Structure formats: C-alpha cells, structure tokens
Structure 1
C-alpha cells in the first residue's frame, strides 16, 4: 500500500478512536492536518474531509443523545420530586426552580387564569429581577401565554420583543423589557380539556429552542399539571379532613355536654325522689353550675342559697327577673347574674339567681333550665306532700275549733304525730283576701302552714291559721304580706294569742276573728291587727280581757320606775290628766312647784315615748291608770292611792 494510502487509513482509524473516546471536535481537525503531507493529493483530501464531516455528525449525534438523556434524567428527577406531598405554594416554587434549571435558563414563572376577570396572575416565579413577581396580572390578550392557552400547545420565540409572529401586549412587553428577557417559551397547564394556567421559561439572550427542549418542557408541563391537580386535591382533602375533625370535635363536645346535662338532670331528680330538701338540691345544682346559686320565691324571699351573691343589685335584679318570667327562659343581667324561672305549667313557683364563678359557657343556660326544672319538681313535691297531709291537718284543726269527742290530750297527741306541738306557744291568724282566687289562697295556706309546722282551715271565705310563735301581730303581718303578693290583692288579717294549750284555741280564734271584724268596722281593709295592737279596743273585744297585760303594756315602765326609784310619776300622771293636761294646775293639786311637774313629765316621756300625749295614746294611758287604781282599790279594800307619799322629785 502506498505511503499516502497508509496515512489516510491511519487518519481514518484515528478518527474512529477519537469518536470512541468522545474527544472534542478540535481533535478531529488536528488529525486531518497531520494526515495530508501532500496538499496536491485531492482525492485523499476529499476522502478525509468527508470522514471528518461524518465524524462531526456522529459526534453531534452523540452530544444530542447525551443531552436528551440528561434532560430525561432531569425530567425523571423532577417528576420524582413533584410526587412529594407539597403545599400548593411550595410546589409552585419547586416547579419554577426545576423548570429554570432543566434547560439552564435565566427565569421561569407560573400563571393561573382567572375567567372572572379575563386575565392571568403570576403565582410563583424563580430567577426574576423586579418586574415579574408574584401577583403580577397578565392581560387576557396578547403574549405567548394567551396564545399557548388558546391553542393548548407550547409556543416559543427566540427573541420575544423582535418577534412579530404573534400579537403583543404593551403591559407584557414592558415587563419583558424590564426583566431584560429575549428568548421565551410558554407551556399550557391542563386539567382534562380545561387549560387553567401556563408555565413560562425565559432566557436573557437570543436562543432557538431545539425540538427536544420543547418536548421536555411539554412533558414537564404535563407533569406540573398533574402535580398541581394532586396538590389541589390534597389541599381540598386536608380542608375536608380539618372540617371533619372540627365537626368531630364539635360532636364530641356536644355529646360530652349532653351527657353532662343528662347526668346532672338524673342526679338532681334522684335527690328529689330520695326526699332530700331544697337546700341539698341547691347545693348539688350549684356544684354542677360552678357558682353561687340562690332560690327565691315569688315574693322575693330566699328559700335556699349556697353562698352570698356578691354582684346582687336588687333593682337591676328585679328587671332581669321580670324579663326571665316574661320569656320563660334564662336571662343574663348586666352584672353577669343569671335569672331563670322555676315554673310548673303556667305557674311560676320560684326564681333561680346564679352567679358563675368563671365565664359562663354555652351550656350554662341549658343547665339552668334543668336546675329550674328540678327545683320546680321539688317545690311541687313539697306542695303535694302538704296536700296529702293537709286533709288530716284540716280535720284536726276543725276538731280543735269545734266540739270534739276527743279529749284535749288526745287532740294534742294527734297534733304531735303531725309535727305540731300544741304545748309550745302558738298564735291564731284569721286572714280575709280582698280579691283574687279563693282556691289559690287555700293552696297557698296549705303550703304555708305545712312549711311552718302549723294548721290551717277555712271559714266563711277566710283563711284560719294556727302558727308557732308568741307575737300575733308579727304573724298577721307576715301572712298578709305573703298572701297579698301571691294573689295580687290586699289581705286583711286579725291575730290573737299566744296559747300553750288546746283548751284555749277556740277562745284565741274568736279573739282573732273579733280583731278582723274590728278592722272591717274601722275601714281597715288590707291592714293587720292583734288585741295588743288595738289597745283598749282589743281588750274590749277579748272574751277574757287581760287587764294586767293591758296595764303593763300601756304604763308598765312608769309603774316599774316608781317601784324602783320611789317616785310619784303615776300620781303626777293622774293629777296631770285631772287638771286637763295643765302642768301648772297639776302642780297646785300636788302642792309642788310647776318645774317639778315639768321634770316628772319629761321623765314620763322618756319612759313611754314621745307620743304618749297624743289623743289615742292619752286615752289608753288614762284607762290604764283607772284600771290600775281600781285593781289596787279592790286588792287593798281602801281608796288610798296605790303609792305612798314620797318626796318630790
């Protein structure tokens, strides 16, 4: 073989070796130059030039294949990264970064289309300088993105601002110019047949995108579309899970509250059924409510309390109570107190006043309703117990007030079995309602007598009560006040007593009845009175006048002072009234100086009070003086004054 052929063959093998070792193209030129020592050999030169061209083509093919493989590998890595459960905003940041690095570009961003405003807005961007930022609004006409969205295919330009192959938008051109971008590609993002956005990549130099690069970006757009859809579904699922968890939490709270309400109601009703009193029921209810609980009757009196209500303003509380009674529901006052009526049907039996220890919860009102219901049941049970026992009590009181075949001892024994001890002081009260329902008054009287361990009956439209106590006047006032508030009408009441034996019950009742008749005769409807309060009129009304008690009640302090100090105040009183209430004339009859009489009268005022010279009191004082002198005369058998002469004071 000629030496030239040998050189050509060696050069060809050398080109094969360079291709096999993936040497750079510059090495190919060096092989050709060294293989042609004779430039005149055109045949060898043409052969080597053809071999070099083929080698360069093969090298370029290998380079493109390697680039494609690298792009596919990067695309696979991107797909793998997009499968992670990102939040949408984080996912978009990952996508823009991966898209920019995939083709080694300067910038990338993602926009979502807003059909309502016919525009798109940037949701994420990477590699931006200042213009294309998150929130930038892209007009609905012009630009690559709108064209790729309308045609649903990738669209690119090697030099955007100088490309007239598509309609431009001034706003888009301004931001592209501000960012210094040249080459730009837009890939549509699909959700089925719907295009919801676009993925953009851009470079700050002129660049012709190869078909492989366009294919890679199109494949990336498909992956991004799936990833965004998955992220949205994941976010929706998370929202639904959060909502379900919230609903579950609410349901658990509801069931817990319902269980607490049910257990509280069961516990309170159980206390009522076991015969516990109202105080124990109120204490248990206050523990369930976590605060201070007060139970008041319709007249505003406390029936039970678990402590002191610190924020109690009676005027404000009255308004809240009226609102609660009107609404038949728990009402919260401005001071933070809760008021709730305890009702049985249309009748309000009591009012609950509750002061929470801490801020009231959503179930406070429901708990108050349950407690109010339990309190109403308790009061109804008490009323029923009183009614069940009332027949026997009424029968006993009827026999005490009439001729009975039983002895007083037997009646007293029957009374003790009904928790009424007739050996203890009792007073009789006869009350006449001046209006209102008679049946309601009788029901109230039964409950009132049962509550105070007394007896009741009715007589000619009047309520007759036998109650424990020693002050008939106070008992009459209490009965009149409470019954008036229940009926809404005035109640006139007469009272007498006290008594400590069943034998004197009839007489005491008759005295109380005469006091009531006296009030009626005097026009005192709605008033109360006892023989002691009626003065001498009460003594006259009494079947067995107690003159000793009348004298002691009227001038007892003066008598005691004379006895203890050996003075003549009683004699001075007699002389004063005999002289027509003239101190000077009284001094003449007593043979003392008028100043002495004045000092004695001042002492009498200190003992009897400032109103003893008023006409009514003066009449009672004169009657007491005459009764005192008469008793003394009868006892001593002489008309001598009841007091020995003593030095003037």
Structure 2
C-alpha cells in the first residue's frame, strides 16, 4: 500500500493528514478533559459540607484520570499527620480511615516540598519513611504505584490527592498536569467549604445567642413581675427551677453546706460549679444573704450561667427586701415581747400593734423559755421569734436563752412542740420549759417561772428536755415565786437551827451535812470533799446532833434533812 501511495506521490500527504488527525484527536481529548475539569470545579463550588466536598473530589478525580485504580484524599491533622477522609476504588476498610504519623509516608515529603510525588513501587521505595500501618493498608489493597498531588491554600499543604494503581504504571505528563490543575480547584472548594462551615457555625452561635438573650429577657421579665406582684422566695425559686429544669433551693447565710463554693462565689461574683450543679452567692449592699443552689446534671452554657447569675441578683433583692420586712416586724415583736417579759405596761398603740399581728393580750397564753448550751444565742432568739410569729405569738431573746408567749392552755404540749420544732431547725440539745396560764399571775412572772424551771433542770444535770412547770412536782416549790414562803417555812423547820448557827458563829454546818449525805455517810469522803481533817468532820457532826437531836440520822429525819438541803442548794442556783 505504501508503495502504491509512494508511486502516486501521496505518501507525504497521508503522513501530514495523520499528523493533523492525531493533533485534532489530542485537542478534542484535551477539550473534553478541560471541560470536565471546569465542570467539576463548578460543581464543587456548590457543595458546602466538608465531608461531601472531600468525597466529591475523590470521585471527580477518578473520572478525570480513569486509568487510576483508586483515588483517595488525606487531610492534614493538628498533629502534623494525615488521615484518609474520602476514597474511590479502595477495598480495604482499614485503608479508608488510615492515619499516618507525622514525618512518615509520601505525605511528609509532599507537605515539605509542596510538589507532586510519584512512586513506582511504594512497598520497595527507599525515598520515604515508611509507616507500618500505611504499608499494611496499601498491601491489603494491592496498590503498587502511587501519585500524590498537594492541595494547597496560601502555600500551605492542607491535604493530598492520591491516584494509585495496582501495577507499576507511570502517569502521563497530561495526567499529572490535569490532576495538578484539579487539585488547585479542589483546594479552593475545600477552603470554601471550611469557611462556609465556620460561617454556618458562627450563624448558629449567633442564633443561639439571640435565643439566649430572648430567654434571658423573658426570664428577667417573669421574675420581675413576680417580685412586683409580691411573690415570696419560694414562688420565685419554683419559677427558676422550671426555667433551668433542675432543683432550686436557697441556703441560709449561716449554712455549712457548700461553704467553700459559696465563699468562692462571694469572692469572684460568679456562679461556681459543684458536683451536683451550681452555687451562686446572694448578697446586696455588702450583706451576705445566703446562696442560690441549682441542682442539675446538665452543664450550663456560658449564656445560661449569666442568666443564673442575673437571676441570683433578682433573688438577692427579694431576699433583702423580705429580710428588711422581717427585721422591721422583729423589732415590733421584740418590743412587745420585751414589755411583757419585763413587766412593763403596754400603751394603747402597742395593744393595737399586738392585735394587728394576731396576738390577743386578753387571751390565754403559755410562757415558754428555751435554754441552749451550744450555738449562737442570736440563732436561738431568731428561731424562737419566727416560731412565735407562726403561731400568732410573741417571742425573742430573754435572759440566758429565748422566751415566747404562745396562745394556748396546755403547757406540756406546747413545750414538746417547741422542743421538736427548734431541735429540727437548730439541732443540738435544748431545755424547753413552759408555764401554763394562771389567773392573777402577770406575764413576766409566768415567763420567770418557765425560766427558773429550765435553770432547775440544768442544775439537775438535764441537757435535753421538754416539760411544763407543773410537771416538776415537788421542785415547783423552788421555781414558783408564788411559793417562796412555803420554801422558806420548810427550810426553817428542817435546817433552820443549822443555818442560824452558821450565821451566828461563822461555821459551815449546813454544807457539812449536805456533803455528808452526798458522800453516803462516809467520814473520810466528806473530809476530802470539804478539804478538812476527818476529826473536824466528827466535831461538826457532833454539833449538828446537839442542835437537831441525836436522831437526825434516822431514816425519816435524814430524808427530810437531805430533801431540805437539796432544795436549798438548787434554790441558790436558780
């Protein structure tokens, strides 16, 4: 054929025609590749999610270089290593998410140079630092020849696009250029997706902040409306509990619970996280008013924490206002109670104040006195005053404890009620004594009877009790001022001669006999207790026999004397 063409003089024309055909075919192929490249680039700009962008890049790369057996993308991590995030043609599940350590694999070299890299046989290459995990993944997928092209943003390699074959096959120059151009477009699409993601995240944050501000304003309005409508602390805490979906309670200023967290909140002025929620100190004008406790297992966001702190400010003002009201009421109650407890005469306006507070000065009321050896006296007085107000009575600090006048007639029942209530609130041991109402006995004498009854129990070694003065029985002769003449008559009839002798001669016969009985009639024990010689005790007892008669130690006389001496000793102490 060639000879025929040569004979006809057409050989050169045919060669020229073939050259033109090849050029046109190459141009048509390049046109298709470039059209595909730009179409792919346009498509990538419409994808927003980063994972979708990565997968789309891998798929379009495979379409642009169909001769590759697999295409995959590795993205640079914060530690400097690279992780495969998208792929096409890979069969190994391990390879699809493999992570290369910093400084290993083709990725390290490409990231350092910023240039494409092709390795004919990856497993046998000595130009890279091998990563055993990556080598194992490549071997499992039977990949041999690998081309890597960097994805660069502002000169920094943010990822690598790989095209791999399962046999040794060098990429053509056109494939390399095409893949490199595509990588540039892919990098821009990846950066756009990242920026869009940040913008979308910022938008969501802004929407959340706007919602938080709206909820904060709504919460502030609701709480302010409650306060203006006269709601108490309990109603406001219920509202706070509903908003934050957790348990809410208020700690008293003297509470020991969460003391360190409350102190920290007082120092920094912010809510403090605890094991079970959050604590925010309450305060106004330098006054410490306790703390707001939110019990929740869900951590609060920063805006919600600010809402909680704002809520605490509103609650502080409410607590401060209620405290001022209570203190004003306390002063009125205190003055009324003090006038009654000290025997003062109430003026007309004080009668009106008492009636306005539900206390009937003309009615029957029980006088109650409480003695407490531990704790702050102010706490006892405050608790007693609050208890009295809750029962339309009057109460407050009195003597060595706290007293109250409570409407009623059953002193024993009221003593037990007060004991139970205060013990629950204050803890510790309490002596509560109550004196029943009696005609012709003024309130101050009635309270004095309750107070002396408590002092008597304390002298007898009782630390925790709730009794009425009537229940003291024989001891009533000591504590009841109205029976003081009976006590004096009994003491004079029993130990009068001893008392008169001691007063006239400066002796201590009364104390000696009292100690002698306490020591069980033991001379040596009596002498030790009195710090005297036993002979001195013998002489004193002889003088006692001379004054009282030799039968003073007989059972009946000894019981009478011992009782008189005990009553005298107790009377001296109350």
Q: TM-score range by the shorter chain?
A: 0.5 to 0.7
User: What is residue 519 of structure 1 aligned with on the other side?
Assistant: 457
Q: CA deviation at 1:513?
A: 4.5
User: 1:223-255 CA deviation, whole Å, 9 max, x = no partner?
Assistant: 213122113313322442354245445535654
User: What is residue 202 of structure 2 aligned with on the other side?
Assistant: 244
User: 1:418-437 CA deviation, whole Å, 9 max, x = no partner?
Assistant: 43112432111234444655
User: What is residue 452 of structure 1 aligned with on the other side?
Assistant: 391
Q: 1:118 and 1:542 mapped to 2: Cα distance?
A: 92
Q: Does 2:258 correspond to 1:324?
A: yes
SS at match of 1:83: helix
Give matches, 1:224-303, under 5 Å. Answer: 224-245=182-203, 247-248=205-206, 251-252=209-210, 254-255=212-213, 258-259=216-217, 262-263=220-221, 265-267=223-225, 269-270=227-228, 274=230, 276-277=231-232, 280-281=235-236, 284-285=239-240, 287-288=242-243
Q: Does 2:421 correspond to 1:463?
A: no
Q: Does 2:469 correspond to 1:531?
A: yes
Q: Does 2:42 correspond to 1:83?
A: yes
User: 1:293-312 CA deviation, whole Å, 9 max, x = no partner?
Assistant: 7779899xxxxxxxxxxxxx
Q: 2:236 and 2:294 mapped to 1: Cα distance?
A: 14
User: 1:109-167 CA deviation, whole Å, 9 max, x = no partner?
Assistant: 5687999999999988878999xx87799xx9999xx99x98968999xxx89xxxx99
Q: Does 2:63 correspond to 1:97?
A: yes
Q: Does 2:309 correspond to 1:380?
A: no
Q: Does 2:452 correspond to 1:497?
A: no
Q: CA deviation at 1:67?
A: 0.9
User: What is residue 527 of structure 2 aligned with on the other side?
Assistant: none
Structure 2-normalised TM-score? Answer: 0.56
User: What is residue 427 of structure 1 aligned with on the other side?
Assistant: 366
Q: In the alignment, which of 461, 475, 478 is matched to residue 414 of structure 2?
A: 475
User: 1:62-92 CA deviation, whole Å, 9 max, x = no partner?
Assistant: 2023213212321222222233125123212
Q: CA deviation at 1:416?
A: 1.5
Query: Quick check: 1:430–1:516 contact (8 Å CA) kept in 2?
Result: yes
The total of aligned residue pairs comes to 446
Query: Quick check: 1:268–1:374 contact (8 Å CA) kept in 2?
Result: no
Mind listing any 5+ residue stretches in structure 1 that lack a counterpart?
1-25, 34-44, 300-320, 546-649
RMSD: 6.1
SS at match of 2:412: helix
User: What is residue 562 of structure 1 aligned with on the other side?
Assistant: none
User: Alpha carbons of 1:444 and 1:58: their partners in 2 closer, same or farther (altered >3 Å)?
Assistant: same
Q: 2:182 and 2:105 mapped to 1: Cα distance?
A: 24
User: 1:14-47 CA deviation, whole Å, 9 max, x = no partner?
Assistant: xxxxxxxxxxxx7xx79x58xxxxxxxxxxx75x
Query: Quick check: 1:425–1:498 contact (8 Å CA) kept in 2?
Result: yes
User: 1:542-590 CA deviation, whole Å, 9 max, x = no partner?
Assistant: 5678xxxxxxxxxxxxxxxxxxxxxxxxxxxxxxxxxxxxxxxxxxxxx
Query: Quick check: 2:382–2:396 contact (8 Å CA) kept in 1?
Result: no
Give matches, 1:563-578, under 5 Å. Answer: none
Q: 2:142 and 2:16 mapped to 1: Cα distance?
A: 39
User: What is residue 496 of structure 2 aligned with on the other side?
Assistant: none
Q: Does 2:181 correspond to 1:223?
A: yes
Give matches, 1:534-545, under 5 Å. Answer: 534-538=472-476, 542=480
Query: Quick check: 2:341–2:447 contact (8 Å CA) kept in 1?
Result: no
Q: 1:115 and 1:287 mapped to 2: Cα distance?
A: 43
Q: 1:116 and 1:402 mapped to 2: Cα distance?
A: 83
User: 1:319-348 CA deviation, whole Å, 9 max, x = no partner?
Assistant: xx96435543899999x8999998899999
User: Alpha carbons of 1:292 and 1:201: their partners in 2 closer, same or farther (altered >3 Å)?
Assistant: closer
Mind listing any 5+ residue stretches in structure 2 that lack a counterpart?
48-52, 266-270, 484-574
The structure with the largest alpha-carbon Rg is 1
Q: 2:437 and 2:223 mapped to 1: Cα distance?
A: 45
Query: Quick check: 1:96–1:125 contact (8 Å CA) kept in 2?
Result: no
Q: CA deviation at 1:52?
A: 0.9
Query: Quick check: 1:93–1:126 contact (8 Å CA) kept in 2?
Result: yes
Query: Quick check: 2:72–2:87 contact (8 Å CA) kept in 1?
Result: yes
User: What is residue 332 of structure 2 aligned with on the other side?
Assistant: 389
Q: CA deviation at 1:470?
A: 1.9
Q: 1:122 and 1:353 mapped to 2: Cα distance?
A: 48
User: Alpha carbons of 1:235 and 1:416: their partners in 2 closer, same or farther (altered >3 Å)?
Assistant: same
User: Alpha carbons of 1:141 and 1:221: their partners in 2 closer, same or farther (altered >3 Å)?
Assistant: same
Query: Quick check: 2:83–2:99 contact (8 Å CA) kept in 1?
Result: yes
User: Alpha carbons of 1:540 and 1:441: their partners in 2 closer, same or farther (altered >3 Å)?
Assistant: closer
User: What is residue 19 of structure 1 aligned with on the other side?
Assistant: none
Q: 2:244 and 2:90 mapped to 1: Cα distance?
A: 62
Q: 1:504 and 1:541 mapped to 2: Cα distance?
A: 16
Q: 2:394 and 2:23 mapped to 1: Cα distance?
A: 116
Query: Quick check: 1:412–1:502 contact (8 Å CA) kept in 2?
Result: no
Q: In the alignment, which of 32, 48, 52 is matched to residue 74 of structure 1?
A: 32
Give matches, 1:549-628, under 5 Å. Answer: none
Q: 1:516 and 1:472 mapped to 2: Cα distance?
A: 14
User: Alpha carbons of 1:361 and 1:127: their partners in 2 closer, same or farther (altered >3 Å)?
Assistant: closer
